[in-house]
């Protein structure tokens, strides 16, 4: 089922749109003629991107704030738009063993990576179903297919996003609305550095053949939505690795993952 057609009162809402994959997805949707609504905390970056795209609105918001998040659909409506496309891209990660973690940081990550995804889907999907058109893209990770010692909360959160979105797809059959999960592998976006990785550590832990550009991820994501795909994993090597990780016994996989993860050194 193709993406909903662009229209004068329609928008594609992209969270975490100030940089990285979110910004690239916004660019790809705009290139296809969609008006986009850019959502993130960094208003200056959003305004720069909106100026570049032309047909875009900016909503500065901390998606960890439940009260602010609850107002998002209303704020889009005040701009004269309805969200026909929802891209839940905002996310972050902590780094290190849970036994040494900051509880507040862990809960903040889960609020953005997990709770915000479910919250926005539950608020925006009813309108899509009522209109009989819409597409949801929830951004997970290849980490969704395996445990991730060193980033336990992040990996588990992405596993939630994958399972949740697949369940949505089953519920939405016949409604005119689709749900797709994007599961990228390693991408140079600054995400790892914000989590606490150095570029050198990340590149040492993950082979060069697994790295995919943000542009490639965005094109694969939007093409996957347009084709109504259930799961999109950019890069052939990442697709193979995701498949292997699901069938490898955990007794073999966990020691290897823990040994190689920079957060546990």
| Active site amino acids | 154
In 3D, which of 163, 213, 223, 161 has the Cα closest to residue 186?
Answer: 213
Partnered with residue 57 across adjacent β-strands are 37
Cβ atoms of 9 and 57 within 8 Å: the answer is no
Partnered with residue 14 across adjacent β-strands are 38, 87
Tell me, rounded to whole angstroms, the distance of Cα 140 from its chain centroid. 5
Distance CA 2, CA 153 (A): 34
Strand order in the sheet with 177-182: 56-60, 36-40, 10-15, 82-88, 134-139, 177-182, 231-232
Q: Can you spell out the DSSP letters for 228-265?
A: T-SEE--SHHHHHHHHHHHHS-HHHHHHHHHHH-GGG-
Distance CA 80, CA 50 (A): 17
């Amino acid at each position: 089922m193709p993406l909903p057609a662009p229209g004068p009162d329609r928008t594609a809402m992209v969270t975490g749109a100030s940089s990285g994959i979110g910004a690239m997805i916004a660019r790809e949707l705009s290139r296809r003629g969609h008006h986009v609504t850019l959502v993130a905390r960094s208003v200056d970056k959003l305004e720069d991107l909106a100026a570049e795209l032309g047909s875009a609105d900016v909503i500065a918001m901390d998606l960890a704030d439940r009260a602010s998040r609850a107002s998002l659909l209303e704020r889009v409506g005040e701009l004269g738009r309805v969200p026909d496309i929802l891209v839940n891209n905002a996310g972050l990660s902590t780094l290190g063993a849970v036994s040494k973690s900051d509880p507040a940081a862990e809960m903040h990550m889960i609020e953005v990576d997990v709770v915000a995804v479910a919250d926005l889907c539950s608020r925006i999907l009813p309108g899509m179903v009522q209109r009989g058109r819409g597409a949801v893209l929830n951004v997970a990770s290849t980490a969704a297919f395996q445990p991730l010692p060193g980033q336990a909360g992040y990996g588990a959160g992405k596993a939630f996003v994958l399972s949740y979105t697949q369940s949505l797809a089953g519920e939405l059959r016949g409604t005119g609305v689709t749900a797709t999960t994007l599961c990228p592998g390693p991408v140079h976006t600054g995400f790892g550095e914000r989590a606490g990785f150095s570029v050198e550590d990340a590149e040492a832990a993950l082979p060069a053949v697994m790295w995919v550009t943000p542009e490639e991820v965005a094109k694969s994501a939007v093409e996957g939505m347009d084709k109504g795909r259930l799961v999109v994993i950019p890069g052939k090597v990442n697709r193979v690795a995701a498949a292997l990780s699901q069938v490898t016994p955990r007794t073999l996989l966990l020691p290897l993952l823990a040994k190689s993860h920079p957060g546990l050194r």
